[in-house]
Structure 1
Amino acid sequence: MRVSFYTLGCKVNQYETQAIAAQFQKAGFELAGPEEKADVFVVNSCTVTATGDKKTRNRLARFRRENPDAVVVLTGCFPQAFPEKAKALPGIDVVTGAGNKNRLVELTLRAISEKSRIVEIAEHTPGEGFEEMQVQDFGEHTRAFVKIQDGCDHYCSYCIIPTARGRVRSKPLEAIRRELSVLAQNGYREVVLVGINLPCYGKDLGLRLIDAAECACSVEGIERVRLGSLEPELLTDEDMMRLAAQPKFCPQFHLSLQSGCDAILRQMNRHYTTEEYLEIVRFIRNHFENPSITTDIIVGFPGESEEHFLQSLAFVREVGFARVHCFPYSRREGTRAAALPGQLPARVKEERNRRLAAEAERCKAAFLKEQVGRTEEVLLERQRENGSFEGYTKNYTPVRIKGEGLATGQIVLCRLDCCSEEHCLGCAI
């Protein structure tokens, strides 16, 4: 039998899909692409925005139309956060939530053999353990993502994720070391540690994120270690000093900002001010060699005035981010922000988003210009049709490079000679 997967959302979801796919393969299934015919179709859903829910529903309906006799499986954050809505969707044979992923093969085989519909959405409970999964291969990808943390206790006013993912729980260090050792043996030289609220790693184990990072850096064969998205207020000076002492650590910090206006940060229930955020940025730039700072920003949050927006715009300019993922606020059912007064019209949100995106492009251009003239190690990720390669430096600067004897997966020393709007151009030395 053939199984196909469709994944929405974050790197954690992508990791979990990879782990589930390996379990199906172990059970004798053949993997098919998301556009190919299959006997089983699995959607690993995201519910951060209502748009994500719509994409999930559309994809499920399309697959059912094109494969009327297949078994359709829905898992992930959408059914966990909105179980009644998920159960009501027509044509779904197996419905599970954000947990139970290690039982997905079992539930699917039951649905096939019993020809029955199965709904098993386990509620999150205080003290629940980390659902350990292992991934040994990421296909053609040259870097591996490793989920080490799940859940969030912060309850930002716009976010449904604590409902979908439950409380903080963490992967033990020995399990991290074991998984990374296998990945290193399989040729992966760079890993990215990811989680739902990554800096909360170890809260349930008496550990901190730095312990997991040091563990990853200690694994023989792993040459570069990155961290996923970070909540800025959870990074201590001591943790960052220990990170700076790790030669394998990649100085790329994705610090989620969400707004550059203190009044809006309070409305969002974020736990820092813009000045505190700026102090963290200054500390990073003082203690790491050529770091990059990237971020996410929500535009048009309820109550955001033009003055608030201009403060946010000015803050982006002041920080000088290497990259900004900006997007209009999306009203999310089940969150406090959905009921806040001052909901803005779509046209206002879209117009502000365009202005912020333009400023973000200027910041990115300035950052790329700063990289010109440097000599950096580049992990080659893909070969282009003209024979050149694309890859990333340790601080995640995108680079296009030409040279003799190059191959995907290599880490090569490269001189960055010039830059375009999107990347640096370099030559292997």
Structure 2
Amino acid sequence: MNTPRKVVFYTLGCKLNFSETATIARQFEEGGFVRAGKGERADICVINTCAVTEHAEKKCRNIVRKAAREHPGAIVAVTGCYAQLRPQELARIQGVDIVTGNHEKGMLYDQVAGLLGRGERTVEVHACAAEEIRSFFAAFSVGDRTRAFLKVQDGCDYRCAYCTIPDARGASRNIPVSELVAEAREIAARGVKEVVLTGVNIGDFGRTTDERFLDLIRALEKVEGIERYRISSIEPNLLTDEVIAFCAQSAKFMPHFHIPLQAGTDRVLRMMRRRYDTARFAERLDRVREAMPDAFVGVDVIVGFPGETEADFDAAYRFLAERIRPAFLHIFPYSVRPGTPAAELPDRVSPQEAARRVERLGELSARLHGAFYDRFVGSVRPVLFESTVREGQMVGFTDNYIRVAMPYRSEAVNRIVAVELGEGRTTSSGYAGGEECLSGRPLEIG
């Protein structure tokens, strides 16, 4: 009997990439391949890359070299945003066999299978211009049966001054609502209770099918078996009153929003070519909180954008700390992206000053996050528990995205349980949101 070939996967970047890697992995498993265990040598290495920052690209190159070094003789296939933007750069790395951009990402399995059994190999590069990226690679990832990430949209028609995503992912596009409902039903059949909707600009859903994001979430709510949905990220100008109202009355869409701000002053927002001002952003958050007072709202912020003065940063800090007070800040130091308008702007902020600003916002985020948690100590919230066990504890999330820990009980795994949130915050390794969680006392299991 032939020994199955082994494959290993590396994913960098966003949840969208993780959903796509998971789908590619299923294609390999359906083709008879098995995943290489820890320390095992693989026959095939698949690296799904990110290019959101210079640091991300450096990390991708290091992972590619590491894969080729640790799995000598393996077919090394590189795909994703970095592969789309700079395919030849990756093709020059020793050991790389295939570089595939985002247009043909869904065909990666067939491309790799076509190389098997060949003798001498030459590097294959499958790339095209961003304008030619029209395919939609339907994808979802399932981890421990508790939560899945469902890709509902790809690409972006916005041209923010700092961003390469339109060149890496192409124009905004999607598949019909009916096909995404079918994907959600497949996820539900696997016993998954929670689905996170992912994409590049998901609020722009419907460009290619003459539908709306509101149509999508209305249809998904009707899928039996899925008990929770979360919207991974939505632009403030696309977070409409109708979407907010629907989520507020929905039994399945959670009071949890991630809304990119990027800059806290109108001057910098204009330089970034964003499609709103601070007043509009604050008004959207006010509307969310009016409809869902307990909602968790996370916010993206870029610091050190060219031309951002000390006065700009101080004003942005006050806007965050005093006006909108989100539950969490996801902070990025500005990274020069070649070919973007921002790369040509004068008045660069020094790395040292950018790091200082990141640190200040990090301290603010910790305070805001802690204050949000403290609001709910002593209250009872529904928690969906995961199967992971760390030091005898199991963890899960409330509807409004508070991480909760309690002593492990197998009957609580993948169940929504009413939990009284305890005093004090403890750390839980691997949690990006400040590694904090509240203790929990289940009120009923059984």
TM range, smaller chain:
over 0.9
Distance in 2 (CA, whole Å) between partners of 1:33 and 1:213 is 38
Give how far 1:198 is off. Answer: 1.0
Partner of 1:103: 107
1:187 aligns with 2:191: yes
- Is the partner of 2:297 in helix, strand or coil? strand
1:293-339: CA deviation from partner (whole Å, max 9, x where unpaired): 10111111111111100111111112111111112111111211111
CA contact (8 A) 1:126 1:167 kept: no
CA RMSD of aligned residues (A): 1.7
Range that drifts further, 201-210 or 276-285: 201-210
What one-letter code is carried by the residue in structure 2 that aligns with 1:56? C
Distance in 1 (CA, whole Å) between partners of 2:271 and 2:47 is 33
Partner of 1:131: 137
Partner of 2:431: none
Give how far 1:390 is off. Answer: 0.8
What one-letter code is carried by the residue in structure 1 that aligns with 2:207? K
Partner of 1:371: 376
CA contact (8 A) 1:3 1:39 kept: yes
1:303 to 304, 307, 330: 307
Distance in 2 (CA, whole Å) between partners of 1:34 and 1:294 is 35
Partner of 1:348: 353
1:423 aligns with 2:428: no
Give how far 1:249 is off. Answer: 0.8
Distance in 2 (CA, whole Å) between partners of 1:241 and 1:266 is 29
CA contact (8 A) 2:320 2:326 kept: yes
Give how far 1:68 is off. Answer: 2.0
- Is the partner of 1:416 in helix, strand or coil? strand
1:244 aligns with 2:248: yes
- Is the partner of 2:114 in helix, strand or coil? helix
What one-letter code is carried by the residue in structure 2 that aligns with 1:399? V
CA contact (8 A) 1:6 1:34 kept: no
Partner of 2:57: 53
Correspondence list, 1:21-420, <5 A: 21-33=25-37, 36-115=40-119, 116=121, 117-125=123-131, 128-133=134-139, 135=140, 138-317=142-321, 318-402=323-407, 406-420=411-425
What one-letter code is carried by the residue in structure 2 that aligns with 1:272? Y
Give how far 1:61 is off. Answer: 1.1
Distance in 1 (CA, whole Å) between partners of 2:95 and 2:81 is 19
1:243-274: CA deviation from partner (whole Å, max 9, x where unpaired): 22211110101000111111111111111111
Give how far 1:141 is off. Answer: 5.0
- Is the partner of 1:390 in helix, strand or coil? strand
CA contact (8 A) 1:326 1:353 kept: yes
Inter-CA distance 342–81: structure 2 relative to 1 (3 Å threshold): same
Inter-CA distance 141–354: structure 2 relative to 1 (3 Å threshold): farther
Range that drifts further, 67-76 or 207-216: 207-216
Partner of 1:7: 11
CA contact (8 A) 1:294 1:322 kept: yes
Give how far 1:368 is off. Answer: 0.6
- Is the partner of 1:301 in helix, strand or coil? coil
TM-score by length of structure 2 reads 0.92
Give how far 1:204 is off. Answer: 2.0
Give how far 1:129 is off. Answer: 4.0
1:68-112: CA deviation from partner (whole Å, max 9, x where unpaired): 211100101002112332333332101101121221111112222
What one-letter code is carried by the residue in structure 2 that aligns with 1:3? V
What one-letter code is carried by the residue in structure 2 that aligns with 1:162? P
Which ranges in structure 2 are unaligned for 5 or more consecutive residues?
427-435
- Is the partner of 1:149 in helix, strand or coil? coil
CA contact (8 A) 1:64 1:70 kept: yes
Distance in 2 (CA, whole Å) between partners of 1:405 and 1:29 is 32
Distance in 1 (CA, whole Å) between partners of 2:241 and 2:94 is 51
- Is the partner of 2:134 in helix, strand or coil? coil
Range that drifts further, 390-399 or 84-93: 84-93
Distance in 2 (CA, whole Å) between partners of 1:63 and 1:388 is 34
Give how far 1:382 is off. Answer: 3.8
What one-letter code is carried by the residue in structure 1 that aligns with 2:418? L
1:96-137: CA deviation from partner (whole Å, max 9, x where unpaired): 01121221111112222334332111333368242334x4x6
Inter-CA distance 33–349: structure 2 relative to 1 (3 Å threshold): farther
What one-letter code is carried by the residue in structure 2 that aligns with 1:285? R
CA contact (8 A) 1:130 1:170 kept: yes
CA contact (8 A) 1:298 1:326 kept: yes
Aligned residues: 427
**Identity of matched residues, %:** 38
- Is the partner of 1:426 in helix, strand or coil? strand
What one-letter code is carried by the residue in structure 2 that aligns with 1:132? A
What one-letter code is carried by the residue in structure 1 that aligns with 2:342? A
Which ranges in structure 1 are unaligned for 5 or more consecutive residues?
none
Give how far 1:289 is off. Answer: 4.6
